[in-house]
Structure 1
Amino acid sequence: MSTRATLRALVVDDSAVIRELIAVNLQLEGFEVTTAADGQAALDLAVELAPDVITLDVMMPRMSGFDVVARLRDDPATAWIPIVMVTGRAQAADVSRGEALGVEAYLTKPFEPAELVEVVTRLASDARRGSRRP
């Protein structure tokens, strides 16, 4: 059994299929995964759980992913959490908006699960090592 602490991910998407796909792939890599179906739930869980990384869709009910990012970045308790946008919004303007808000990575659907796992693992590990945590 590994003595390394389990990395925690919050997976946010309004599509149950996409949530499950991301969650299963991360769980296979040893992540502890919590999921949310909308932006407000994402904010609540981010504050409660302080995950090492968040994957976040843009188009969701109650609050868009971009609005979630802005709120997370404005709160000192969550500003450090790395965010990977996983979305069908592939326009250059969308990618630029994500970067301007402080998103660490932007993957478009359909995505390659291996690439998603690599990006999420790298960002979560960096956060856990303290390069971003307060």
Structure 2
Amino acid sequence: MDDNKVIRQLIRVNLELEGFEVVTAGDGAECLEVVHQVRPDVVTLDVVMPRLDGVRTAARLRADPRTRDLPIAIVSACTQYEIDAGFDAGADAFLSKPFEPAELVALVRQLVERKTRAGGAGAFRAVLGAAGESGSPAQAESAG
């Protein structure tokens, strides 16, 4: 669920090719409505979205007993401040733009499998950097 239609479509196509069923929303407020209707296994958010940004959307999902264990990945060109704010709001993972489609698919699959295995329990925090950035392209931290 991303403010940029092209990115949204890219995410959708790549996940559908891997067998995921994907529902999109144009902003954070619509995302909250869709989540309650569809009950997805994972939510991806952009930080910058109209009406309700990704960090506040994540916080609302975490505050609601129906969605507090829902895995949340933020897919955005993030600053360290946004990453920290996102984790504070309850996001499980970040994938920074631009990203490789395979990175997105792997992250979503990891979140779904973790939810299935753990029943939603346990802490999982991952920050995936874009391909071609300096340093390690992916880092995962376990907060547990």
- TM (norm. structure 1) is 0.86
Provide Cα deviations, 1:32-77, integer angstroms capped at 9, x if missing partner: 1000110111000111111000110010111111110111000000
Q: How many residues align?
A: 121
Ranges in structure 2 where 5+ consecutive residues have no aligned partner: 122-144
Instruction: Give the residue type in structure 1 aligned to 2:29.
Output: Q
Counterpart-to-counterpart distance in 2, 1:85 and 1:94: 10
Deviation (angstroms), 1:111: 1.0
Counterpart-to-counterpart distance in 1, 2:107 and 2:83: 16
Q: Which residue of 1 aligns with 2:47?
A: 58
Q: Which residue of 2 aligns with 1:74?
A: 63
Counterpart-to-counterpart distance in 2, 1:44 and 1:101: 19
Deviation (angstroms), 1:91: 1.4
Counterpart-to-counterpart distance in 2, 1:77 and 1:55: 17
Counterpart-to-counterpart distance in 1, 2:25 and 2:98: 20
**1:1-134 pair list within 5 angstroms:** 12-88=1-77, 90-132=78-120
CA RMSD, Structure 1 to Structure 2 (Å):
1.2
Provide Cα deviations, 1:79-98, integer angstroms capped at 9, x if missing partner: 1110010012x211111111
Instruction: Give the residue type in structure 2 aligned to 1:75.
Output: D
Counterpart-to-counterpart distance in 1, 2:45 and 2:18: 19
Secondary structure in 2 aligned to 1:72?
A: helix
Ranges in structure 1 where 5+ consecutive residues have no aligned partner: 1-11
Counterpart-to-counterpart distance in 2, 1:92 and 1:14: 20
Secondary structure in 1 aligned to 2:6?
A: helix
Counterpart-to-counterpart distance in 2, 1:112 and 1:39: 24
Counterpart-to-counterpart distance in 2, 1:48 and 1:31: 17
Counterpart-to-counterpart distance in 2, 1:53 and 1:28: 16
**Misfit runs of 4+, over 6 Å:** none
Counterpart-to-counterpart distance in 1, 2:43 and 2:62: 12
Q: Which residue of 2 aligns with 1:4?
A: none
Deviation (angstroms), 1:100: 1.1
